Structure 1
Amino acid sequence: MEKGKGDDKENGSEPGLLLSDSGCYKEPFLEERKDGGNGIPKRKEIELITVSKDSGVPHVRKSLISELQHSKQTRFKLVKSFLVASAFMILGWTKGQLGPAFLDLLYITGTDLKSGSGFMTSYYAGRMSGSILAGFIYSKVNKYLIFVISITVHGIVVGVIPWCYQYELMVGAHLLQGISGGVLDVAITSEAVTIWGPTARGRSYLQLLAASFAISGLLAPFATAPFLLQPNTDNSRNLSVLNQSLVNSSMVTYEHEMTTTNLNFSNTSDYHHTFYANQQDSRLYIAYFISSGIACVVAIPFVVLFFKSGASHEKTKKQNSREFIGTLPMLLKYLQVINIGVFSSAITAMDFTFGGYLSAFCVQYLLWTKADAAMLTSVVFFATLVGRLGGIFIVHRFKSHTLNLSACITCIVGLISMYINARMKADIGIWLSVCLVGIPLGIIWPVFLSWVNENLIPIYGKVAAFLLVTSFGGAMISPVLVGYLMENFTLLWFCYFCIIKAGISSVCVLLMLIYTRILKNSENIGNNITKIF
């Protein structure tokens, strides 16, 4: 006896859909002939549409290559993915130049290391200010125009920095660079999560995006090095160690720079006057001019997208998407917003502190040489890059909250292992422990963004700004606290602080996991009630 349409609806399916063994509904997907035939497809043109019982959203099961061949929309997504990644690489590239160029900037402005810390402080203050600014303007301005302006301003400011001989101008230039970078960061984050959406491809793309940022940050110091001032022979070894420790990662931070510089030079007031004695003017402007030119080139495709897109359409899309996901009470959703803010601050503080103070900890507590300590820091950031590259494939196999919880727990295990090996003065254990921390650390942030975008609220404008402001807030406060604890109590507070922050991050991810379960149960209950009525 054949089933009628009524039978289909009783089983919770739509007419014409076939229930598969995996619990999904399938229907044939027919593609018309290009020659305008009768619409009857060849056998090889038949695809299957998979409809999830939970979401009810059809998904065509095609490979990416097949979609690129037949879908103009997919090809456009791929182009946008490349352009957004290029913009993020510009941000990583210019940020990666700060470390190796730091000493030349001191020479240009005639300041010492202590005063030069204002460059980095103003840069990160600008990043926070830029993130806040972008949160207010992102829904009111065409997103491609934001890309054009922020990239262009960022590139121009980078080109001007080597010519700022006055200290105040240098601080102001880094502040403006940070503001434009903060606006660009929000635009990149908001656009990156929307290109492929909350899908496996979207999760993989976020990992690839983070990896591209790290790669550009690692390559930038090598491109900058030929244009740096050459030191006197007696100080050449110090400079090489300093530069290596400053540029080990694209995440070059203020605390990292100041920690390593303090290790190499004790008399900062005399250093500036003797280190570059009898040298010619700095050629740093060449490296920065190249970076400026690359940034302006990257901005050109966004100009094209701006003129081809409808400004009103882009704004409407953003305004209609700023809604929480699911039907849970608003109190739970706002509490979860606080939770993700705490997580963002804690994990970034741990990340920046671990990379920034690791060299100082190894030299002062473990009595390593500065070169070995710098090499260990390089291993950490290369391990982080490996984690991000591996995450491109891992995110297809695990859910975001499960993967993040596993990564946080692995970080805790690695940090505890490093503490134990530090107490035992086991050098080999230290090397293995930092790898155990670095690899999962590279996965956490992109997976976190995926979870927020899929389970809590779409990451647009103010949401992206909120996450970046909280992350930079944690990164700026932690160096002061860790430095005070290490100086006044024990150097082991480096390990204690990182373990505490990783523990806080794990608790936050556990709360995300509980929230996800509650959200899924509420959706299942809602679906059952709908079927009854």
Structure 2
Amino acid sequence: GWVSGQRGASFLDLLLVTHTDITLGSLLLTLAGLAALTGVLTGGFLLDCTGRPHLMMAGAMLLNAVFSGVIPKCTAFPLMAALYFLAFFAFANFEVVTVSHQAKIWSSGGGAYMQGLFFCYALGAILSPLATQPFLAADNNRSSKTQETSASNDYLSDHAEYLTLSADTESEAGNDDRLSFYEQNQAAHDLVRSFNDSAVGYQLTTTMEIASTPVVTDDNVEAVIVTGNDDTRVFYAYLMTSVLCFSSGLLLLMLLRFPVTGSQKPEKTHPGREGKRTGRESLPLLVVCVTLACVYFSFSGCISFPDFLMTFVVKELGWSKTSGAHVTSVFWVGLAVGRLSGVGLVRVMSPARIITCCLLALLTSLLAMLLAALFRAHWAVWVSAAAVGLSVAVLFPTGLSYTHQRVSRLTGRLTGVIIATPTLTSMLNPLLVAHLMTQYDGVCYVYVYLAETSLGAVAFVVLHAVSAKSAMTTQTDTNQPEAECETGFIDGTGV
């Protein structure tokens, strides 16, 4: 949770370290999604082959500690991208092995523990942005849509030609003075190009900042340029992450010496259910495709929504990075509250009703954030960010339970495919969101997730209709009435 929460909070400062813009920097988040996809599949395969979960967990956590500690020191973007991929590849290996092994230890009586595990994930994601914020760079490149940046842009564009003429017609000046005028003129032109190259005006050159408004008079030219933006101390935030991962890896190594095993209790079976499950083992291709589409679109907000949340509020709304870190934590607070409430919610409502309510709440929350951004209602952004986190909190675990009940028994292969599918969001959304925010408007960030959630809701309706028809067919063939709602596949908790 700490690692995931830090990813979005430190994104802008990693761009400063490598001197890249948002479009190119979004490849970091895409690589994180690709690493998660390959890490989940590789980790599950290696676990089946080796049968050494403790060793794999410890090794993955220690590798993550090493890579996390050196990522902010890479000024070359290709090197940072490579280490970023390796760090999240190790992270994904740790995640899949941990969840699989803990489910084996806790068996059918560990539903509440599994919910507690998801809550700890959210708790780490809450604290991480708050701990990262003091080490972020100063808010020198606030939103381009503020009046100050627009005025600077217009001023430099209007006076660039004047600077050139002034330097060329300064006949009384000596060679040294001419050189000084030339350097000032060249620096001014560089600034104009850095402003004009950004389609919406907020991709400033990260190695230069305007320290004060240039003063141009009939007698002289004064252009004050400062090479700042190197004041980021994000390395110390990643160093904290490295220390936490290293200490966790050492604790996991202790499990090699003192292994933990669970009592293997036989799973409860109910008469008549085996026949129903057997009838669904051979899934129609349409059901599989709609299931994956529903998972991909409905759960995208839970995975990649906070990655660009700080970038959105800083660049589009003109907030400070401190406020951006806080609103990111507010999202994770909503997620944590939702995870806790899910423990009791799955016992009184069916998975289908929970998913329906969550999707409606998610659509409403995203629409509220869109209106808040358009009308600059900053207080509503805080409320809608918490509401988005609350709405997506139980979607994924409840979706697994729904698939287990209505579509097919969750075999290891099907579970791996379902878990790996949402990682495609982390690969594609950063590229799409960064391109739209750069070429059009920062509000496109909200439009993307609103569109994906809408498509996910439609996919879920189709999935529910197809699974209901399949259930009726199975009921007719077996002459066994199907219960309207079964309990979750892990102690009824819907995990």
TM-score with structure 1 length normalisation?
0.60
Partner of residue 440, structure 1: 391
Q: Which amino acid aligns with 2:229?
A: F
Map Cα deviations across residues 81-102 of structure 1 (whole Å, 9 max, x no partner).
Answer: xxxxxxxxxxx22333445566
Structure 2: which amino acid aligns with 1:411?
A: L
SS state at 2:87 partner: helix
Deviation at 1:207? 3.5
CA deviations on 1:162-188 (whole Å, 9 max, x unpaired) are 676776554333222122122222223
> In structure 2, do the counterparts of structure 1 residues 288 and 414 end up closer, same or farther at CA, with 3 Å as the change threshold?
closer
Partner of residue 188, structure 1: 98
> Which residue of 2 is the match for residue 463 of structure 1?
414
For 1:174, the aligned partner's letter is Y
Structure 1 residues 239 and 499: alpha-carbon distance in aligned structure 2, compared to 1, 3 A threshold: closer
Q: In the alignment, does 2:337 pair up with 1:386? A: yes
Tell me if structure 2 keeps the 8 A contact 1:348–1:472: no
Distance 1:394 1:160, change over 3 A: same
Please state if 1:172 is matched with 2:82: yes
In structure 2, what is the Cα distance between the partners aligned to 1:523 and 1:301? 49
Contact 1:348–1:475, Cα closer than 8 Å, also in 2? no
Gaps of 5+ in 2: 144-199, 210-225, 265-273, 482-495
Aligned residue type for 2:128: A
- Does 2:244 correspond to 1:291? yes
- Look up the SS of the partner of 2:278 in the other structure: coil
Read off the aligned partner of 2:95 and give its amino acid letter: D
Matched, 1:147 2:52: no
C-alpha separation between the residues in 1 aligned to 2:437 and 2:25? 23
Task: Choose the corresponding residue for 1:113, options 17, 20, 27.
Answer: 20
Deviation at 1:408, TM superposition (A): 0.6
Shift of 1:403: 0.7
Q: Matches of 2:477 and 2:105 in 1, distance apart? A: 29
- Write the deviation string for residues 503-525 of structure 1: whole angstroms up to 9, x where unpaired: 22223333443455456556655
Find the residue that maps to 1:398 and give its secondary structure.
Answer: coil
C-alpha spacing 1:437/1:325, structure 2 compared with 1 (3 Å): farther
Return the offset for 1:137: 3.1
Match of 2:205 among 267, 273, 280: 267
5+ residue gaps, structure 1, are 1-91, 242-261, 314-322
Deviation at 1:444, TM superposition (A): 1.0
Contact 1:205 1:392 in 2 (8 A): no
Write the deviation string for residues 325-355 of structure 1: whole angstroms up to 9, x where unpaired. 8134566454333223212321343445643
**Does the aligned pair in 2 maintain the 1:388–1:442 contact within 8 Å?**
yes
1:96 corresponds to 2:34: no
User: 1:344·1:470 contact (CA, 8 Å) conserved in 2?
Assistant: yes
Deviations 1:438-486 (A, max 9, x none): 3111121221223334544555654344234321212221233334445
- Distance, in Å, in 1 between the alignment partners of 2:275 and 2:450 is 32
| Equivalent residue, structure 2, for 1:130 | 39
| Structure 2 residue aligned with 1:85 | none
Residues 337 and 122 of structure 1: is their aligned pair in 2 closer, same or farther, counting only changes over 3 Å? same
Q: Secondary structure at the match of 1:128?
A: helix
CA gap of 1:97–1:416, structure 2 versus 1, over 3 A, is closer
Superposition pairs of residues 421-440 of structure 1, within 5 angstroms: 429-440=380-391
Q: CA deviation at 1:407?
A: 0.6
**Partner residue, 2:124:** 216
Change in Cα spacing, 1:212 to 1:159, as seen in structure 2 (3 Å) is same
| Aligned amino acid, residue 287 of structure 1 | M
Cα separation, 1, equivalents of 2:234 and 2:50? 43
Question: Number of residues paired by the alignment?
Answer: 396
Q: How does 1:182-261 map to 2 (within 5 A)?
A: 182-191=92-101, 202=111, 204-223=112-131, 228=135, 236-238=138-140
Q: What is the CA–CA distance in structure 2 between the aligned matches of 1:105 and 1:358, rounded to whole Å?
A: 15
Name the aligned partner's letter for residue 111 of structure 1.
Answer: T
Give, in whole Å, the separation in 1 of the partners of 2:27 and 2:417. 25
Contact conserved, 2:26 with 2:431, CA < 8 A, in 1?
A: no
Counterpart position of 1:473: 424
Tell me how far apart the structure 2 counterparts of residues 425 and 276 of structure 1 sit (CA, whole Å).
Answer: 31
Cα distance change, pair 192–512 in 1 and its aligned pair in 2 (3 A): farther
Question: Which structure carries more relative contact order (alpha carbon 8 Å, separation 6+)?
Answer: 2
Tell me: CA distance 1:427–1:458, structure 2 relative to 1, closer, same or farther (3 Å).
same
> Post-superposition shift, 1:304?
4.5
CA shift in 2, pair 1:150/1:267, >3 Å: same
- 1:432/1:460 CA distance change after superposition, 3 Å: same
| Aligned residue number for residue 165 of structure 2 | none
Quick one: which of 365, 371, 380 aligns to 1:414? 365
Percent sequence identity over matched residues? 22
1:193-240: per-residue Cα shift (whole Å, max 9, x none)? 5555678x62x44443222112112223455567x48x6xxxx34599
Counterpart residue type for residue 244 of structure 2 = S
Residue 422 to residue 176, structure 1, CA distance change in 2 (3 Å): closer
TM-score, normalised via structure 2 length? 0.64
Letter in structure 1 aligned against 2:19: D
Structure 2 CA distance, aligned partners of 1:427 and 1:280?
28
Report the Cα offset of residue 502 of structure 1.
1.3
Task: Give the CA RMSD over aligned residues.
Answer: 4.4
Q: Any idea what SS the aligned residue of 1:268 has?
A: coil
